[in-house]
Structure 1
Amino acid sequence: MRLGIDVGRATTVAVATRADGTVAARARVDSAPAFAASVRSVLAALGPLPGPAASVAVLTDLRHRPTDTRPVAVLRIAPPSHPALAPATGPARLTGRVAGGASVTGTPLAPLDREAVLAFARRAADAGVTAFAICAAGAPARPGSEHAAAAIVAEVLPRAALSLSHEIGSTGLRERENATLANAALGAWADRLVADAGRALTAHGVTAPLYFARDDGGVVSAEYFRRHPVIATAPAACTAARGAALRTGARRALVVDAAAHAVRCVTVVDGEPERAEPGPGPFGLRMDLGGPRTTVLPYASGAFDPQEARHLVERERERLPDAEVVWTGGAAPAGPDSADDAARFAARADCGVEIEQIVVATGRAELEALLEAARGHALSRAVAAGATPGSVRVDRSTHTPVSYLPAGVHRVRIRATGLPSGRAEP
């Protein structure tokens, strides 16, 4: 049995599913102002589970809850650039640049200026900043300078929270740096959610491994979420959309999520949401983390308006005329089961990660070897994210030539997933 908990702005839903995916128990309550109170309340309404839980998946959007942020020191490892291309500030307390990094293809640009990294770390320590976002040019192809800089920072601040861009963002420098900055700033928020959820579950007698839904609808372990919270700040729309498509069996669906304060539309084809272009993420920073393309229409009247929703659907249908319209969400005109879509899908979701890299190959054989190494890395990351080792697999792998670079340079995206770890299900 697996448990999913959807902590929304207006309502909190809990669904316990059996091994075959059918619902064994469900509960729905009004959300409390505090996340922990919402979890405790819905667990009390759910009552004793029909059997032991193998895992628990929690989802909540960053904008639904007060946000704890850490002051961040942002260190860019790259050649000098125009002031307009300086690191974003946002929640950053300090920003700095040191020599080092590599080109997009991995060619070293300069040796890492270790003394400058040491001086920056000491300046951050003097300012009381212990969260760092480290971003090196070319890190998706050659991450060594980020590891070296992190080791230097750790010498000055052994308990520093370190976010490294090659573990988080896309290949674009600015988007990757922004995602790393947001990740470092959200560490306190993630710590609080993990602690609150863990205490609430323990008080209810649930000791199963804890997971959090990520923005693409999959899940990651609580510990992985604590280290990489930026990948799980807005999972509700995608999780609900994938759950609604699965519930209805629609192969190509325009999912309309009638949430508490807005209608959200997500396209799902064969179970996969349409990927969003780079755009604003947490703190308004532009980033590219593979979330779904979502069209949002806030309620002008403050409550669900069927006519407003129809207008939004009509506009979206112009772009997707062959898609089946599927409703979900608490205000949806699709029956009570639709309110459970997000929690039910999260309970059964696979655990995994997506990685993005740049590889340079002179021929087909070398490219295949590099792709195989990248797939192995993705599988290892999926296990680190909480997937059961024997269940992990690569379920999506793409590589495309980078058109503006010489032949042989490829952008690689690989998604690896597996079953969440936990005791055997009854």
Structure 2
Amino acid sequence: MKRIGIDVGGTNTDAVLIDGEKIIASIKVPTTQDVMSGVKAALSHVAGHAGASGRPIDAVMIGTTHFTNAVVERARLERVAAIRIALPTGASLPPMCDWPGDLRAAVDPLIFMVHGGHEYDGSPLVPMIPNEIREAAMKIRDAGITSIAISATFSPLTTECEVKAAEIVRSVIPDARITLSHTLGRIGLLERENVALLNAALQSLGRTTVQAFSDALREAGVTAPFYLTQNDGTVALADVAAANPVHSFASGPTNSMRGAAFLTGLSDAMVVDVGGTTSDIGCLVGGFPREANNIVHIGGVRTLFRMPDLLPIALGGGTIIDPETGKIGPRSVGYRILTEARVFGGNTLTTSDVAVAAGLIEMGDKDRVRDLDPAFVKASLERIRDMVTDSFDQMKTSAEDVQLIAVGGGAFLIPDKIAGASEVLRVENAGVANALGAAMAQVSGEVDQVFSGLSRDEAIAKAEAEAQGAAVASGASRASLETLEVEDIPIAYLPGGARRVRVRVIGDIAFN
């Protein structure tokens, strides 16, 4: 099976072509300012090697920073409307009350709070008033807004209000793009609502991004279906992923972690992915990134949904070092490293310059950094070691030494010995581990829901069936599905034997 994996980072765009588990071709090119030019260059290179076997490419997997960057940069976001079904409660903390001012201004929200919602035990808070929803929908329509987020109190327990409200809104605005909070987030109204609003603001970008990738593939002569990588290290059909762009926020680091697992054969280890601008430290559990179970801030917004447990640090191959103070980061030259780093003819001192001066790697013109004081170089490397060691220690969950896999284009910055690491592993093709992880990805489906009135076995069976349906809708072969995780937590304060059940299934891509 031939696959192309592409990962678009802030500094480099990486691509690989694999046939089964054999790497046929790989390339790393600088990410261009318009992004797509770099993607096309990488794609053309690896696609050019596909004709040797005479078989066409079966699938293309793409990981992108488009959606994260849009939130961080407060750019390319769509105006949104928020409908919260919670009155008479919830009025003191309205939607987006905790958003940074510039991000809130970028989405210019139209906000409505209406009666309805449920209690923690699933009973109605107050009856939902359809006319309130209809009036809100008409105002949204008149404002020309088509991207809408609907949230309701305890909707992961009882989805009724959100589903009914969506039907009413769609009767008024047939072309509305509606995000229901219970499909993305977990218990916790504000965080779940925030995820839905971010998703709504990104849906237009999701469509245009998928179309741009589709055009790039067509120009390269690739007709295979393509997928976008997700936060959990899996992929979804591009059209499905475009509807839920928040599921691709952390796809870059998770691609690298999956690639690290593939390259080393390890399923349980720590991974540090060193890019051009930042490094991400995470933990592999069973071959997949460990999932975060707490609040995750995205562009300054509190969220709680399916995200990997990662610790980012401002350390990459393009990170700027102050030549006077020796301070490292947080600024980086990013994709401009080939023109601004000293070894490449520029005047900005970066971590890569120090690494070349220390003999850790050969690139550029070493003569351009011979003037660096050896004591300064040594001190800089010690600071880098301290940054990595501190972050590594924060992410460990036991006192025992564990293996650390160093991947990414800037992996040469990771020292060979780190306190708490039994060994630092370096493998061939580590520089394109992210693209490899994308190419090797499978498809998953997940359900995280509260069930009541069912036995434990019935609740798990129902959750498993729903998770399987979600995986198939995302492009998985039903025959290949297997259950990866099952969590079953009885909720003592709810009646009817209520329990929170989380099921995750995974399977291979379904090829027509």
Q: For the residues of structure 2 that align with 1:410 and 1:92, how far apart are their CA atoms?
A: 38
Query: Which runs of structure 2 are paired with 1:269-418 in the superposition (5 Å)?
Result: 269-299=285-315, 300-301=328-329, 302=332, 303-304=350-351, 306-315=381-390, 316-317=392-393, 319=396, 320=398, 321-333=400-412, 334=426, 337-361=429-453, 366-402=455-491, 405=494, 408-418=497-507
Question: Which residue in the other structure is 2:354 paired with?
Answer: none
DSSP 3-state at the match of 1:78:
strand
Contact kept? 1:105, 1:360, Cα under 8 Å: no
| 2:13 is equivalent to residue 12 of structure 1 | yes
Number of matched residues?
419
Structure 1 residue 351, shift from structure 2 partner: 0.8
| 2:86 is equivalent to residue 78 of structure 1 | yes
Specify whether residues 290 and 307 from structure 1 end up closer, same or farther in structure 2 by C-alpha distance, changes over 3 A only: farther
DSSP 3-state at the match of 1:390:
helix
TM-score, normalised to structure 2, is 0.77
Query: Which runs of structure 2 are paired with 1:46-61 in the superposition (5 Å)?
Result: 46=46, 47-50=48-51, 51-61=55-65
Structure 1 residue 108, shift from structure 2 partner: 2.3
Structure 1 residue 31, shift from structure 2 partner: 1.1
Contact kept? 1:208, 1:422, Cα under 8 Å: no
Question: Which residue in the other structure is 1:3 paired with?
Answer: 4
Specify whether residues 161 and 33 from structure 1 end up closer, same or farther in structure 2 by C-alpha distance, changes over 3 A only: same
Structure 1 residue 49, shift from structure 2 partner: 1.3
Q: Which runs of 5+ in 1 are unaligned?
A: none
Structure 1 residue 311, shift from structure 2 partner: 1.6
Q: Which amino acid aligns with 2:119?
A: S
Instruction: Please say which of residues 372-381 and 382-391 is displaced more in the overlay.
Output: 382-391
Q: 1:294-324: per-residue Cα shift (whole Å, max 9, x none)?
A: 1122132444464344223322237444210
Question: Which residue in the other structure is 1:37 paired with?
Answer: 37
Question: Which residue in the other structure is 1:23 paired with?
Answer: 23
Specify whether residues 143 and 405 from structure 1 end up closer, same or farther in structure 2 by C-alpha distance, changes over 3 A only: closer
| 2:240 is equivalent to residue 186 of structure 1 | no
Instruction: Please say which of residues 47-56 and 255-264 is displaced more in the overlay.
Output: 47-56
DSSP 3-state at the match of 2:411:
coil
Instruction: Please say which of residues 271-280 and 301-310 is displaced more in the overlay.
Output: 301-310
Specify whether residues 306 and 198 from structure 1 end up closer, same or farther in structure 2 by C-alpha distance, changes over 3 A only: farther
Identity of aligned residues (%): 31
Structure 1 residue 57, shift from structure 2 partner: 0.7
Q: For the residues of structure 2 that align with 1:166 and 1:44, how far apart are their CA atoms?
A: 40
Contact kept? 2:442, 2:506, Cα under 8 Å: yes
DSSP 3-state at the match of 2:471:
helix
Q: Which amino acid aligns with 2:451?
A: V
Q: For the residues of structure 1 that align with 2:290 and 2:131, how far apart are their CA atoms?
A: 45
DSSP 3-state at the match of 1:85:
coil
CA RMSD in angstroms comes to 2.1
Structure 1 residue 176, shift from structure 2 partner: 1.2
Q: Which amino acid aligns with 1:54?
A: D
Q: For the residues of structure 1 that align with 2:224 and 2:297, how far apart are their CA atoms?
A: 31
Q: For the residues of structure 1 that align with 2:171 and 2:449, how far apart are their CA atoms?
A: 29
Q: Which amino acid aligns with 2:436?
A: R
Q: For the residues of structure 2 that align with 1:397 and 1:96, how far apart are their CA atoms?
A: 37
Question: Which residue in the other structure is 2:76 paired with?
Answer: 68
Structure 1 residue 417, shift from structure 2 partner: 1.9
Contact kept? 2:250, 2:308, Cα under 8 Å: no
1:246 to 262, 267, 278: 262
Q: Which runs of 5+ in 2 are unaligned?
A: 98-103, 316-327, 333-349, 352-379, 413-425
Contact kept? 1:105, 1:359, Cα under 8 Å: no
Q: Which amino acid aligns with 2:145?
A: V
Question: Which residue in the other structure is 1:120 paired with?
Answer: 136
Contact kept? 1:104, 1:358, Cα under 8 Å: no
Structure 1 residue 337, shift from structure 2 partner: 0.9
Instruction: Please say which of residues 292-301 and 52-61 is displaced more in the overlay.
Output: 292-301
Instruction: Please say which of residues 124-133 and 250-259 is displaced more in the overlay.
Output: 250-259
Q: Which amino acid aligns with 2:81?
A: A
Contact kept? 2:269, 2:402, Cα under 8 Å: yes
Q: Which amino acid aligns with 2:448?
A: E
Contact kept? 1:88, 1:178, Cα under 8 Å: yes
Structure 1 residue 349, shift from structure 2 partner: 0.8
Q: For the residues of structure 2 that align with 1:55 and 1:80, how far apart are their CA atoms?
A: 50
Specify whether residues 211 and 126 from structure 1 end up closer, same or farther in structure 2 by C-alpha distance, changes over 3 A only: same
Q: For the residues of structure 1 that align with 2:452 and 2:506, how far apart are their CA atoms?
A: 25
Structure 1 residue 73, shift from structure 2 partner: 0.6
